[in-house]
Amino acid sequence: MKEAIEILKKNDLLRVIDDELDIYLEIPHIAYIEVKKEDSKALLFTNVVDKKNNKKFDIPVLMNVFCNEKAVKLFIGDGDKIGNEIQSLLKMKPPTTIGEKLSTFGKLFALKNTIPKKNKGKGECQEVIKLGTDAKLSDLPVLTTWEQDGGPFITMGQVYTTSLNGEMKNLGMYRLQVYSDNTLGLHWQIHKDSNHFFHEYKKAGKKMPISIGIGGDPMYIWCGQAPLPIGVFELMLYGFVKNKSAQLVKSITNDIYVPRDNDYVIEGFVDTSKLKIEGPFGDHTGYYTLEEEYPFMEVTAITHKKDPVYLATVVGKPPLEDKYMGHATERIFLPLLKTTAPDLIDYYMPENGVFHNLILAKIKTLYPGHAQQMMHAFWGVGQMSFVKHAIFVNEEAPLLTDHDAITRHILNRVDIEEILITRGVVDALDHSSPKFAVGGKLGLDCTGEEVEELGIDLLSDEELLLKMQEITSEIKDLKQYFTDTKNPVTVITVLKNRKQKELFNDLKPLYKNLKILIIIDASNQNDVDNAYMLVWRVVNNMDSNRDIFIEDKTICIDGTNKNSLDNFKRRWPDDVDCSKEVIQSLRDRKIIDISDDFIKQFQL
């Protein structure tokens, strides 16, 4: 971390804040705002307090370490270059000439560095060792990010686990709720390696060892969230990218090995016969994830460097730090995804689609139904299986990251006959599906030619809104997008008092004026002029099995919050919102400098 801080300083990517700031809301709110700025920087808080417990920390807190694309390249490297290296290995053929043999030998020899090295003795992460009752989580400046959070959460913990037989190792990134000085919740989801290991220990009736690293090389963080195949230890990726082995040391009270340069290591065991209510927590979906039972660990030791830095991140509504990490992941893992989907050219997961809620993919279309085949391939591959909405275009399409051009390309090719709606696994954080972790999937095949002109009778926003309001007073606002395409998009806000399919049916006289209708709630948080946040809201809120209606070649998407009117039996969570009082206090103290327009733009 000290080296990372120096790198950030040298590249003018660090802002040091010496003002006294609280671990409750203040520090995370500042980081949340900073990462949304175009010139965002990492933040080092040097004067950290816990006002609730009248406590002052001598430990600095570092946040937003992956603050922009430049920071990602400094700590991880060039994603495209790394991806090309992976691709060259995947395509390696038996050498025939001396030159090819030397080149192949060089590549294979370099792979020796992918194996983490176990060192004897102690590491820098064990310069200070606290055992038993002396190991207190309250000695760490663990942040409480949002008002409705169930408590303080460690948000950048590297969770190291091993299979029962010791043959498989895993590094995962999970949120960790602090219950007490020696109890820490483990939010590993049902699809994760750590959860598979947990069930092995549970079946054997044994406690599960676990160690959690905080800090050290920022690369560990990225490795922990990388979508590697089951059974591949994430620190092997560290060795491949860095071209040097990760250096590990054994934990003090269990047999888990951790990076020797972590700033902190929290050690303990999980009693696999016990679970605890975890959450709620304002997560990266921009909504709170609700309370669920999860395992927890009893802390047996906390070790750290003599002068540690506490590393944390903040999650909520986009854009966030994971935007920059996610873009690197896209580039690096494209070659691996191509092994399952060989006709894939490129893919893009917009951060306002919260990654797993929306994916755009460019493919080489070879035969009828090819895009649908690829949809099923995506939904069957690792973390891609969580994707809710997939839109496929052909190789002639514009750059996927050119938002305006690719949107026009897609809207000119939306064909009702080429829409696939199915059902499958969704992320455990998804709140819109009728059942936990199972929900609708939407696949849109836009690989064909432009659709024929359907003779839509375009009206101005004012005219169309007036006609709708003559039908029903529920509709409060309206905006049309991309009216120069074959499938214009109309967004309306409503005061919801019934199923939106009924509203859609009532609007039938206006189908001649509509192609794609999107309905959202009329609220202060929803602005029909804010396209970025509209995408975030709609792909979060919709389940394609329930919320897409098609009639007379008009498509309606219900992006409203769901309730009993929709026969929705789960509890709908609140938006993740900053405390207005905290924001105002930070503005008054001139610690943050943001406008009311900024607050509105990002729905803070």
Domain boundaries, given as residue ranges, for the chain = 80-312, 341-446, 461-566
- Report how far residue 402's alpha carbon sits from residue 409's, in angstroms, rounded to the nearest whole number: 11
Mean pLDDT, rounded, for 373-379: 89
Topology alike, domains 341-446 and 461-566: yes
The CATH number that domain 80-312 falls under is 2.30.110.10
What pLDDT does 101 receive?
Answer: 45
The backbone torsions φ and ψ at residue 423, rounded to the nearest 5 degrees and listed phi first, read -145, 145
- Report how far residue 172's alpha carbon sits from residue 166's, in angstroms, rounded to the nearest whole number: 16
Give the pLDDT band of residue 356 (cuts 50, 70, 90). Answer: confident
pLDDT, tens digit (0-9, with 9 covering 90-100), for 217-259: 999 999 988 877 777 888 988 888 888 999 999 999 999 999 9
- Cα distances from 484 to residues 408, 552, 553, in angstroms, run 9, 21, 18
- Report how far residue 586's alpha carbon sits from residue 22's, in angstroms, rounded to the nearest whole number: 11
- Report how far residue 437's alpha carbon sits from residue 431's, in angstroms, rounded to the nearest whole number: 9
Which of the two residues, 378 and 143, has the higher pLDDT score?
143
The backbone torsions φ and ψ at residue 364, rounded to the nearest 5 degrees and listed phi first, read -90, 105
pLDDT, tens digit (0-9, with 9 covering 90-100), for 23-32: 999 999 999 9
Tell me which range, 353-362, 396-405, 450-459, is most confidently predicted by mean pLDDT.
Answer: 396-405
The backbone torsions φ and ψ at residue 277, rounded to the nearest 5 degrees and listed phi first, read -65, 125
Which architecture, in CATH terms, is 341-446? Answer: 3-Layer(aba) Sandwich (3.40)
What pLDDT does 89 receive?
Answer: 55
Least confident of 29-33, 188-192, 541-545: 188-192
What is the separation of C-alpha 584 from the centre of its chain, rounded to a whole number of angstroms? 28
**Can you list the positions of beta strands (E) in 389-497?**
389-394, 419-425, 438-446, 475-481, 489-494
**Residue matched to tokens 């120096």:** 6
- Mean pLDDT (the chain) is 92
What pLDDT does 85 receive?
Answer: 73
CATH class of 461-566: alpha beta
What pLDDT does 90 receive?
Answer: 52
Closest among 491, 67, 145 to 319, alpha carbons compared: 67
CB contact set of 161 (below 8 Å; sequence gap of 6+): 169, 170, 172, 193, 194, 197, 208, 209, 210, 256
- Cα distances from 177 to residues 7, 266, 334, in angstroms, run 31, 13, 33
